[in-house]
Amino acid sequence: MNGWQRFGLLILGCVGVMILFPNFDSRGWHFILFTLLGGAAALLLLSVLSNLFAIYRFETLNKIITLVVLGIIVYVLLWYFPQTDYRAPITKLKAGEMPTKADIQRGLKRLTFNFDFVHRNVRRDENFSNQEIPSQPAEKKIVIPAKPVQTQDSIEIIPE
pLDDT in tens, 99-154: 999 999 988 888 876 555 555 555 655 555 555 555 666 667 777 667 766 776 77
> Domain spans of the chain?
3-110
- Beta-carbon count within 10 A of 74 CB: 20
Which residues are CB-neighbours of 77 under 8 A, at least 6 positions away? 13, 14, 17, 35
Is the pLDDT confidence value at 35 over 90? Answer: yes
**% of the chain residues with pLDDT over 90:** 36
Indicate the pTM of the whole model.
Answer: 0.66
DSSP bridge partners of 132? 126
* Res. 72: pLDDT tops 70: yes
pLDDT number for residue 111: 83
The reported pLDDT for the residue numbered 130 is 53
Give φ, ψ of 126 to 5 degrees: -145, 150
DSSP string, 11-33: HHHHHHHHHH-----HHHHHHHH
pLDDT over 70 at 64, yes or no: yes
